[in-house]
Amino acid sequence: MKRNDQLIFKILTTVRDSKEPVIRNLEIPGFDQATVAEHAQLCIEAGYLDGIVDHYIDNTMQIKLIRRLTNAGHDYIEAFKG
């Protein structure tokens, strides 16, 4: 997988703008669920999101839940907007 910074930005802004207290199904138009889950995992690893992505034996991933955007996530959005 090649990292897509536009997708990371879309994930973070979608979580920021969500009215749901916990997100269990994150859909980003133009991207399949596997790609969104992989990029959500990158966001969690970087400390931008507080959440859990399940990893399966067949090497696939699925978002279990996203609780919130972290302070670092807010900073990423601001820096990305430039």
Give the tens place of pLDDT for each residue, 13-45: 999 999 999 999 899 999 999 999 999 999 999
Is residue 7 scored above 90 in pLDDT? yes
Predicted local distance difference test score (pLDDT) of residue 78: 96
3-state DSSP percent of the chain in helix, strand and coil, to 5: 45, 20, 35
Query: What is the Cα–Cα distance from 43 to 66, expressed in whole angstroms?
Result: 11
Spell out the domains of the chain, with CATH numbers in brackets: 5-81 (1.10.10.10)
Q: What is the pTM of this model?
A: 0.92
Q: State residue 60's pLDDT score.
A: 86
